[in-house]
Structure 1
Amino acid sequence: MLKRAITADEIETYDRDGIVCLRGLFDTDTVEMLRTAAEQCMAADPTSLTMEVAQMREKEGRFFFDTFTWLRNDLCRAFVHESPAGEIAGRIMGSEKANIFFDQWLIKEPGTPVETPWHHDQPYWPVLGDQVCTLWLALDPVTADSGAVEYIRGSHRWGQRLKPESFSGHTKFTEELPPVPDIEAEREKHDIVQYELEPGDCTIHHALLVHHAPGNTRSDRRRRAFVTRWAGDDAVFHPHEGVQHMPPFPDIPAGGPLDSDLWPVVWRS
C-alpha cells in the first residue's frame, strides 16, 4: 500500500529529467527489515553474483555488491513482493505492470574511497525498452561525503547506448559501443544533480540516465542502499554478449516479454 499517491508532477519530472527523488515513501519497519537483510547478505557465503569491489580494486574499505538476493533471502523476497516498490516504479514509468528485473546491494562502509564510475545501466543488462528503471532506497542518511549519487539530468534522452564501465576494474564488457564521455573533465557542460537522502527516501532513475557515486569518505556512517531494478510494459528480452553476470536466462525468445520465474510481474494497475 502506498503511503501517498504518486503525483503528476513527479511523473513529469521523471519523464523530463530521467530522475525523481521521492521522500519518505518507505516506513521505518521496512528500513529496519532491510538493514537486517543487509547484515544477513553480507555475512552469507558469497556466490558468483557477489563482489567485494574495494578488495578487487585493491582499495581501502569495503564496497559490497550483490544481486538477485531476493531469490535466496526471505527478507529481500518480502520487500520485492510485499512493499510498494513495484507500484511506485510502475506508476512513475507510466506502465500498467512492473516486473522485478533484479535487486542489488550497493553498500559502501565508512572509509571506502572507491567511486562508482560514470555509467548508465541498460547496456549491462539483457533488456531493451524505455520503461526500465532503478529504485535506489536509502537505509542510512546519505550525503555527498558518504556517497550520494550524482545524475546528469536529461541524459536518458541522449539517444545513445554507451559502453559499460566495470565497477571492479577487472570485468571487460564486449559489446561494441562508444565509451562514456569523460564527465569529470566537462562537468560544466552537464546538468548534474545530487540528492541527499534520509532513511526511507528513494530515487527512481531511468536505465539510460548517466550517473555515478563518490566514495564514502566518512568515518562514522555507512552507506547502505537497497536497489531494485524494474521493467514495464515495453521492456523486452535482449540477450547479447558481455552482459552483467546473472542466473541462467529463462526460456523466452529475444524480443519477447520478460514475464518469467526470474523476472516475474510483481504489480499490475
Structure 2
Amino acid sequence: MALLSAEQIRDYAIDGVVVLRGVITPETVARIAAGVETNLASPSEWSNDYTPEDSGGRFFDDYVSWQRIPEFADTALTGVLPRIAGELMRTSSPRFFHEHVLVKEPGTSTPTPWHHDDPYYSVEGMDNVSLWVPLDPIPTSIALRCLKRSHHSERRFIPNRFVDDSPYVAQANGFETFPSASELESLGESITCEAQAGDVVAFHFRTLHSAPGTQGHAQRRRIVSFRYVGDDARWTTRPWKTSPPFESNGLQDGDVLDDERFPTIVI
C-alpha cells in the first residue's frame, strides 16, 4: 500500500518540494533525537560549528555518521523514510546517500544561506530527494525556505561556504557564481515550510533553499536530513572538494554508486 498520494508525488516532481504531514511516528522521532544527542556528544571528523565567537547560540552540523549511530542507520534503511524516498523518486530500490544533522540552539544568529545541494555532492542525476526531518516545532520564523520549481533550471551555482558565504572557487566550467537576491526572485516562488515533529519536508537536490537563525526563538531547532538517490544517480568529480568529502574508492565518473557506503534498499 502506498504511503503517499498521487498528488503529493506529482507536487514533488513539479515543485521540487513538498511538505508531508504526520508521516513519522513519535517513537521514530524520539529515536532520531537520541541519535542526535549521541552525535553531539561524539562528533565525527567532518563536523562543523558555524557560530562566530562573538555570536550567541550555536549552529552545529555533521554528516555520514549512520554507520556508527544505530538510530540513524535504522531510520535511514528501514521503515517509512526509504519508502517515502522510493515513492517520490518512483523507484523500488532507492539508494541511501547520507544523513546530515543540523542543530541550531536558541539565539543562533547564523543563517543557512541560500544554496542548492547538488553542486556540493559527488553525484549526478535528477532522481534524488532530501527528507528534512524536524525533531522540534518549526514555526514560520525559523522555517526552511524553498524556491518552488527552481530544480528545473539549467543554471547551476558554485557552492558557497556556510561559515562566511564565500564561494568554493572563483569560477568553474558549467557553474555560475551565486545570484543576487533580486535574481533569485526570478528563479522560483519562495515558500516557507512550517513544520512539526512528525512531518517531513521533501526537496530535490537542485531546489534552492535557505533557513534563518533562531534569534528570538526559545527552543532548539534540530533537523536530520536523510538523503537518497534513484535510478539515474552516477558518481561525478567536482572542481572542488565535495561536502561530504567522499573519496572515489575506485568509482569513476559515470559509475553507478555500487559501494557499501551507499546501500540500496529494496522496497
Q: TM-score, normalised by structure 2?
A: 0.92
The alpha-carbon distance between structure 1 residues 207 and 196, as it changes in their structure 2 partners (threshold 3 A), is same
The alpha-carbon distance between structure 1 residues 209 and 223, as it changes in their structure 2 partners (threshold 3 A), is same
2:45 to 48, 73, 80: 48
Superposition map of 1:100-249 within 5 A: 100-145=96-141, 147-169=142-164, 173-174=168-169, 176=172, 177-183=175-181, 187=185, 190-242=188-240, 243-249=242-248
SS in 1 for 2:88: helix
User: Shift in Å at residue 98 of structure 1?
Assistant: 0.9
For residues 149-205 of structure 1, the C-alpha deviation after alignment (integer angstroms, 9 at most, x for no partner) is 100001001112111121122875236121221226764874111111110101110
Residue 62 of structure 1 pairs with residue 58 of structure 2: yes
For residues 79-131 of structure 1, the C-alpha deviation after alignment (integer angstroms, 9 at most, x for no partner) is 11223211101111112321111101011110001111110001000100000
Give the conservation status (yes or no) of the 8 Å contact 2:66–2:72. yes
Q: Distance in 2 between matches of 1:73 and 1:171?
A: 32
SS in 1 for 2:3: coil
Q: Distance in 2 between matches of 1:205 and 1:135?
A: 7
The equivalent of 2:74 in structure 1 is 78
Residue 21 of structure 1 pairs with residue 19 of structure 2: yes
Q: Which amino acid aligns with 2:45?
A: S
Point out the more displaced range, 214-223 or 100-109.
Answer: 214-223
Q: Distance in 2 between matches of 1:160 and 1:186?
A: 11
Gap regions ≥5 residues in structure 1: none
Q: Distance in 1 between matches of 2:226 and 2:153?
A: 24
The equivalent of 2:255 in structure 1 is 256
Tell me the percent identity: 28
SS in 1 for 2:94: strand
The equivalent of 2:87 in structure 1 is 91
Give the conservation status (yes or no) of the 8 Å contact 2:127–2:232. yes
Give the conservation status (yes or no) of the 8 Å contact 2:138–2:195. yes
Q: Distance in 1 between matches of 2:181 and 2:111?
A: 14
Q: Distance in 1 between matches of 2:15 and 2:36?
A: 30
SS in 1 for 2:82: helix
For residues 231-258 of structure 1, the C-alpha deviation after alignment (integer angstroms, 9 at most, x for no partner) is 0000100122311242433322210111
User: Shift in Å at residue 217 of structure 1?
Assistant: 1.8
Q: TM-score, normalised by structure 1?
A: 0.91
Q: Distance in 1 between matches of 2:184 and 2:157?
A: 17
Superposition RMSD in Å? 2.0
Gap regions ≥5 residues in structure 2: none
User: Shift in Å at residue 65 of structure 1?
Assistant: 0.3
Give the conservation status (yes or no) of the 8 Å contact 1:135–1:204. yes
The equivalent of 1:265 in structure 2 is 264
Give the conservation status (yes or no) of the 8 Å contact 1:250–1:261. no
Q: Distance in 1 between matches of 2:154 and 2:187?
A: 17
User: Shift in Å at residue 47 of structure 1?
Assistant: 2.9
Matched residue pairs, number? 263
Give the conservation status (yes or no) of the 8 Å contact 1:60–1:112. yes
Q: Distance in 2 between matches of 1:84 and 1:129?
A: 23
Q: Which amino acid aligns with 2:15?
A: D
SS in 1 for 2:66: helix
Give the conservation status (yes or no) of the 8 Å contact 2:158–2:167. no
The equivalent of 2:34 in structure 1 is 36
SS in 1 for 2:51: helix
Point out the more displaced range, 128-137 or 170-179.
Answer: 170-179
